[in-house]
Amino acid sequence: MQKGSIRVQTENIFPIIKKFLYSDHEIFLRELISNAVDATQKLKTLASLGEAKGELGDLTIDVKIDKEKKTITISDRGVGMTAEEVDKYINQVALSGAEEFVSKYKGQNENNIIGKFGLGFYSSFMVSQKVEIFSKSFRENASAVKWECDGSPEYSLEETEKSERGTDVVLYINEDSQEFLEDGRIRSILTKFCRFLPIAVKFEEKQINNTNPAWTKKPSDLTTQDYQNFYKELYPFNDAPLFWIHLNVDYPFHLTGILYFPKIKQSYEIQKDKIQLYSNQVFVTDEVKDIVPEFLMLLQGVIDSPDIPLNVSRSYLQGDPNVRKINNHITKKVADKLEEIFNKERKEFEEKWESLGLFVKYGMMTDDKFLERANKFHIMEDVDGSKFYTLDEYRTAVENLQKNKDGKLVILYTSNPVQQDSYIKAAQARGYKIVKLETLVDAGFINQMEMKWENVHFMRVDSEIVDNLIDRQESNETVLNESDAGKLKELFEIQIPSIHLSVELKGLSPEAPPVVATRPEFTRRMKDMAALGGQMGSFYANMPDEVTLTVNGNHPIFQTVLQQDNPDKQLKIAHNLADLALLSQGLLKGNELTAFINRSIELIEGKEKARIIVEP
């Protein structure tokens, strides 16, 4: 049995570092500026402890481009390094000076230190053919040093002249990375990664960052205008947010941030990946799906936590219990906020429901813990827009009227109040209460809630004739005799491509429409979901529409139809009445719509030769 230490050859590790340390080469600038911030934060900590003498002076970090020399220089006025420290922290790959400092000064604002892995500096070799370091320690009588390396394992370290405390890192950009010598490219990288760093960063003599963003302050120190101004800073072209949640947790993990509920005018405007993840004010990513619950990916804003474990590139989350704790905490805070607004400012809550409803419904569908809380503040809007109901309020309002034979509450809804107007009016005449469920998420929401809510069934108001919306009536007496009823039903036995049509004759109220087209709730709902790309989408999308034509034998128009002595005209009138019913369901299209228009003109003019052409 043999034991020993794994040997790493520097000749082999440098090419790996240069090519594969980070997936995006632009990260080098973030890493070097983060190191500069750490050096500055260390100096401030030492000064607060009395270990750094004298005035700190200007602590600004400068980024400069020299296009003639093809260099980028990052300069800080932080702690600097002695020759021994350069040898220790630069010449030893993956030894983090930041990590060692945090360990030594534990309890002294260690969360302000960014670096943890000791590899960030080497990202400079992804874009450089040579790197120089000029550094002078804050310690009294320290000599300045120069370190130089061309990306091979060989380096030089010698004393040099440097008048100011701090470190200058000079990158000699290689031929493949000349894009980083463009002012616009550097400015965009700085804006992306460094716009909220706690130490001032200047480029082209202009400060590019806000060192004290709103999320780093106490909620009690911020006004409504402060929160709105910060939102505008993040999303300058967006409408003002509905409201926001300020996260500020010290135990059992550190988490700060502000999450905004954006105003969404249309459900198709939903956009994810609008939450930005920071670590000690350094931008990491806007892909936060492991930290933020899926349904809250629709929110916008910032979260910042030094406790979120990240790999060396700080680009992907690693599995860790803290991530789950943070996820649960954010869900709870959002539920708390929504319930608070609902209880204290219900009218305002209802006014914002068009946007809020998307978040709430999505959460209820995907997170059972949120569902339990949301049952208290999820609301449904009456079709007239005059009232909102919670589930319990709706149940109370229709308790004795809208129960089916199984004792389930029947929630009648409309997905298109304009198109389904005649069905809505017929249902309202019976005293039924119809709510609006017309967003993109509602088809899925209805299916989920039927499984999660006890004894609840949803039915769209046009899925049955009004007599059958609650309890199916198998027979309705008609004034027609058996012969006329059979003849009338036969007139409506028409064939329409892409529609599976069935006909039934019932004796409805004489005031009811002569023909009503309805589609079974389940299959229509599945086709609606298929149109959105849901599961089994292609199966249901390709199924023909199932439509029932309910012919109202008690409508007076049919006395006229049956007395018509021209069989062809009789058939055309019946066909037109059927088409009108199909038109109300949006099912009359193309050639069938053209034929309906031509037939209508013929009947009005009484001429067989009248024809028009209508584009499908």
- Residue 111 confidence class, pLDDT cut points 50, 70, 90: very low
- Residue 101 confidence class, pLDDT cut points 50, 70, 90: very low
Q: Which of 64, 62, 96, 86 is nearest to 137 (CA)?
A: 86
Question: Lowest mean pLDDT: which of 29-38, 112-121, 607-616?
Answer: 607-616
Q: 3-class DSSP state for residue 252?
A: coil
For 263-282, what is the mean pLDDT? 73
**Residue-level pLDDT at 601:** 87
Q: How many CB atoms lie within 10 A of CB 483?
A: 9
Q: What is the 3-state secondary structure (H, E, C) of 411-450?
A: EEEECCCCCCHHHHHHHHHCCCCEEECCCCCHHHHHHHHH
- Residue 206 confidence class, pLDDT cut points 50, 70, 90: very high
Question: Lowest mean pLDDT: which of 53-67, 113-127, 449-463, 595-609?
Answer: 113-127
pLDDT tens column, 153-183: 888 999 999 999 999 999 999 999 999 999 9
Quickly list H helices, 463-545.
482-491, 521-531, 537-541
pLDDT tens column, 54-93: 889 999 999 999 999 999 999 999 999 999 999 888 887 6
**Alpha-carbon gap, residue 282 to 195, rounded angstroms:** 8
- Cis check: omega of the bond before 15, within 30 degrees of 0: no
Please give the CATH architecture assigned to the domain spanning 346-468. 3-Layer(aba) Sandwich (3.40)
For 316-324, what is the mean pLDDT? 67
Q: What pTM does this model have?
A: 0.76
Buried b (16+ CB within 10 A) or exposed e, 348-360: ebeebbbbbbbbb
**Residue-level pLDDT at 22:** 63
Q: 3-class DSSP state for residue 311?
A: coil
Question: Lowest mean pLDDT: which of 135-149, 425-439, 535-549, 556-570?
Answer: 535-549
**Residue-level pLDDT at 281:** 92
Residue with the bigger pLDDT between 196 and 18: it is 196
For 501-508, what is the mean pLDDT? 87
Is residue 106 pLDDT above 60, yes or no?
no
Is residue 267 pLDDT above 80, yes or no?
no
**Residue-level pLDDT at 83:** 93
Question: Lowest mean pLDDT: which of 39-43, 129-133, 407-411, 534-538?
Answer: 534-538
Is residue 9 pLDDT above 60, yes or no?
no
**Alpha-carbon gap, residue 486 to 480, rounded angstroms:** 9
Q: 3-class DSSP state for residue 457?
A: strand
pLDDT tens column, 380-411: 999 998 899 999 999 999 988 998 888 899 99
**Alpha-carbon gap, residue 483 to 491, rounded angstroms:** 13
**Residue 103 main-chain phi, psi, to 5 deg:** -65, -40
Residue with the bigger pLDDT between 535 and 290: it is 290
Q: Which residue has the tokens 């049995």?
A: 1
Please give the CATH architecture assigned to the domain spanning 10-207. 2-Layer Sandwich (3.30)
**Alpha-carbon gap, residue 503 to 493, rounded angstroms:** 7
Mean of per-residue pLDDT scores for the chain: 84
Q: Which of 93, 81, 91 is nearest to 145 (CA)?
A: 81
Pairing of strands 71-76, 166-173: antiparallel
**Alpha-carbon gap, residue 40 to 46, rounded angstroms:** 10
**Residue-level pLDDT at 99:** 47
Cα torsion 260, 266, 267, 268 to 10°: value is -110
Is residue 451 pLDDT above 90, yes or no?
yes
**Biggest CA pair distance of the chain:** 118
Cα torsion 196, 197, 200, 204 to 10°: value is -70
Is residue 579 pLDDT above 60, yes or no?
yes
**Alpha-carbon gap, residue 180 to 165, rounded angstroms:** 27
**Alpha-carbon gap, residue 380 to 397, rounded angstroms:** 13
**Residue-level pLDDT at 456:** 94
Is residue 217 pLDDT above 70, yes or no?
yes
- Residue 96 confidence class, pLDDT cut points 50, 70, 90: very low
**Residue-level pLDDT at 110:** 44
Structure tokens at 207: 């400060």
Buried b (16+ CB within 10 A) or exposed e, 57-80: eebebbbbbeeeebbbbbbbbbbb
CATH for 214-334, options being 3.90.650.10, 3.40.50.300, 1.10.150.20, 3.30.230.80: 3.30.230.80
**pLDDT-above-70 percentage for the chain:** 84
Adjacency order of strands within the sheet including 206-207: 155-160, 144-149, 128-136, 166-173, 71-76, 61-66, 201-203, 206-207
For 483-493, what is the mean pLDDT? 88
Question: Lowest mean pLDDT: which of 19-33, 86-100, 210-224, 310-324?
Answer: 310-324
Q: How far is CA 158 from CA 73, 91, 129, 135, in A?
A: 19, 14, 20, 11
Domains of the chain, residue spans: 10-207, 214-334, 346-468, 482-605
- Residue 23 confidence class, pLDDT cut points 50, 70, 90: low
If one looks up domain 482-605 in CATH, what number appears? 1.20.120.790
- Residue 274 confidence class, pLDDT cut points 50, 70, 90: confident
Adjacency order of strands within the sheet including 243-249: 243-249, 255-261, 300-304, 275-279, 282-285
**Residue-level pLDDT at 184:** 96
**Alpha-carbon gap, residue 537 to 551, rounded angstroms:** 32
Asked if 512 and 560 touch (Cβ cutoff 8 Å), the reply is no
First to last CA, the chain: 83
Question: Lowest mean pLDDT: which of 30-44, 432-446, 548-562, 593-607?
Answer: 593-607
**Residue-level pLDDT at 610:** 43
**Residue-level pLDDT at 608:** 46
Is residue 313 pLDDT above 70, yes or no?
no
